[in-house]
Amino acid sequence: MDIIIRILYAVISILVATVWGLTLTGIVRKIYARVHGRFGPPVWQPFLDIIQTHSRRVAISHGYMFFLGPVFRFAGGLGTYLFIPVILGSTVFGNFSMGGDVLLVMYFIFFGQLGMALGAGEGGHPYSPMGIARGLSQMSAFEVPFSLAIISVAIQYHSLNITTIVQAQQGSILNWTLFTNPLAVIAAMISLLGMNGHAPFSIVMAPQEIPIGPPIEMNGSFLGILQTNRGLFAAAKLILFMNLFFGGAAHPNILVALLIMMIKTFFIYMFSVFVGASFPRFRPEQSFRFFLKWPTAIGILAILYIAYL
């Protein structure tokens, strides 16, 4: 019984996150359009797109790994999300955070990447491995400042447990990691740019070079699943950042807490959107080098600052 309720809660939680994630995507597109001086598509356009892709009559499959790739990807997103407590103290949005700590979440992010890479790889299209090679390389690069920031945070709160970390940030806005450990946050936020894959780090999808990269062969429902995951995964990442650096979302009223979550994630996302809207794309090696230089240095400083000062 307990399990069924847990699953039910998880479903609710996932739905909320997915919807919010997709809506955020829609909002972002709208903002981009406004920056360009256009109207832009409606905010619900991502939902329409998902329905449209799912309603294709024929789907092309290159093999069972191609078939499973999107599933892996989505499972990665789901898993990542499910191990993050969304709202402090909430049973519904607590998810399965007893399964592990931030390390688990970090590695679950890889799960989807790897699955997608395999699925796309079986497509046999040359652009897929190119995109994946870029993506994995970039990931290895932005993972450095991010992990340094996480280590710094772990030192700071002497915990890797997300709930504990969120709890430690309660009380005042000044307790947020943003203010107590700004260097780590800076490093992490820069690596968030890479994670989100907006310009200048949009080398994976890079429409003009390797048209949308890995999922070039993806079509129909496969694409639909991937699109759904984009929403969920974006939400998961943002919630993770919110929890680690921006005090999490905690309020006795669950709706208020959700609202806090939405506002915070919105602004975190906006950061990468603003950067993305104002910069052109890096070349791959520029991107890797960038992450391995300044953000890494900041991350090291963050550790040194927290550990030894």
Partner 1 sequence: MEKKDLNEIEKEMKLANEGLPEKERILFSDARPSRVEPLNKYLEQFVNWARARSLWLLAFGTGCGATELRPLMTSRFDVSRFGIAGRPTPRQASVFIIGGYASIKTIKRIVRSYEQMQGPKYVIALGSCTINGGMYYDSYNTINRIDYYIPVDTYIAGCMPRPEALIAGFNRLKEKIQKGECDGMNKYADNFDWYKKNQKQIIKDWNMPDYNW
Partner 2 sequence: MVSPIYILILSLAIGFLLSVIDKTNRKFSLTAFYGVLTFNVLVIADWFYRFLFLGVPTLTINTAGFRAPVSINLQLGVQESFVLLFTNLIGLFAAIFLYKKFKESNISSLTLYLILIMGVNGLVMTRDLFNMYVFLEILSISTYSLTSFGKTGKSLSAGFKYMLAGVTASTFFLLGVVFIYYFSGNLNIDFIQASQFTNYGSIALFLLSIAIFIELKPFPANGWALDVYEAVDSGIVSVIAVVNSAAILFLFYKIMPILPERFLNVFGIAGVITFLFSNMLALKQKKAKRLLGYSSIGQVGLLVASLVFTANAPQHLIYLIVGGFFINHLISKAGLFWLSGIVKHENISDWNVLRGNRSLLILFGIFLFALAGIPPFAGFWAKWELVKLLVHSKMLFALSAILLGSLFEIIFLFRWFTLTVKSDIAATIPRWDASKIFSTSFLGVIAIFFAAMIMKVYYGFSLIHILPVLAVLVIDIIDFLPSKVKGLLSLLAVLAYGYYIYPFESNIQLFFGIIFIVGSAVNIISTLNRTGKSEGFYGFLLMMIFSFGNLIIATNYLEFFLTWEFMTISSFLLILRGKQAQKASLMYMIFSTAGAYLMMVGFAFAPQLMGNSPLVISLANVQLPLISIILLSIGFMIKSGSLGVHIWLPEAHAEAEADVSSFISAILLKAGVFGLLLVGISYVKFAPSFDIFYWVGWIGVLTAIVGAFLASFQEDAKRLLAYSSMSQVGYIVAAIAMVSHLGWVSALYLAFNHMMFKSALFIAVAGIYYRTHTRNMYEMGGLIKKMPLSYITVLISIIAVSGVPPLSGFGAKWLIYTAFISNGWYLQAGVLFFASAVSFLYLYRIIHSIFLGQLKYEHQDIKEAPVWFIIPQYIFLGGIMAISAFPNLIIKPLNKIAMHYFGSSIRIDGYSIFSELGHWDGHVVMLVTMGAFIVPLLILLLLVGKTQKVKQFNIVYAAERPESPQTTHVAHNMYAHYRKALGGWGKPRIWNFWHSASEWTHSLADYFRHIYTGNGQTYVLHIILYVVVIYIVMGV
Note the residues at the interface with partner 1 (CB under 8 A). Answer: 29, 33, 36-42, 45, 48-49, 51-53, 55-60, 207, 211-212, 216-220, 223
Cβ proximity to partner 1: between 89 and 129 the closer is: 129
Q: Does 167 interact with partner 2 (rule: CB under 8 A)?
A: no
- CA 128 to the chain's CA centroid: 21
Cβ proximity to partner 2: between 96 and 294 the closer is: 96
Footprint on residues 44-73 left by partner 2 (CB under 8 A): 54, 56-63, 65, 67-68, 70-72
| Cα–Cα distance for residue pair 184/165, rounded to 1 Å | 14
Q: Do the Cβ atoms of 277 and 165 come closer than 8 Å?
A: no
| Residue 119 vs residues 68, 73, 78, 216: alpha-carbon distances, Å | 6, 9, 17, 11
| Cα–Cα distance for residue pair 300/297, rounded to 1 Å | 5
Binds partner 2 (CB under 8 A): choice among 84, 160, 183, 275: 160
Size of the site for partner 2 (CB under 8 A): 86
Binds partner 2 (CB under 8 A): choice among 19, 29, 49, 147: 147
Contact partners, residue 161, CB within 8 Å, separation at least 6? 101, 102
Q: Do the Cβ atoms of 120 and 131 come closer than 8 Å?
A: yes
Both tokens assigned to 269: 């996302």
| Residue 78 vs residues 41, 47, 108, 197: alpha-carbon distances, Å | 27, 18, 9, 19
- Which backbone phi and psi does 56 adopt, to 5 degrees? -65, 145
| Cα–Cα distance for residue pair 309/306, rounded to 1 Å | 6
Cβ proximity to partner 2: between 132 and 250 the closer is: 132
Q: Does 117 interact with partner 2 (rule: CB under 8 A)?
A: yes
DSSP category for residue 91:
S
38 binds, among partner 1, partner 2, none (CB under 5 to 8 A by kind): partner 1
Residue 298's nearest CA partner among 205, 182, 134 is 182
CB of 208 to partner 2, least distance (A): 13
78 binds, among partner 1, partner 2, none (CB under 5 to 8 A by kind): partner 2
136 binds, among partner 2, partner 1, none (CB under 5 to 8 A by kind): partner 2
Cβ proximity to partner 1: between 77 and 215 the closer is: 215
Q: Does 303 interact with partner 2 (rule: CB under 8 A)?
A: yes
| Cα–Cα distance for residue pair 138/142, rounded to 1 Å | 6
Cβ proximity to partner 1: between 38 and 289 the closer is: 38
Q: Does 223 interact with partner 2 (rule: CB under 8 A)?
A: no
Which one of 21-29, 134-142, 174-182, 233-241 is the stretch in contact with partner 2 (CB under 8 A)? Answer: 134-142
Binds partner 2 (CB under 8 A): choice among 27, 35, 43, 118: 118
Q: Does 126 interact with partner 2 (rule: CB under 8 A)?
A: yes
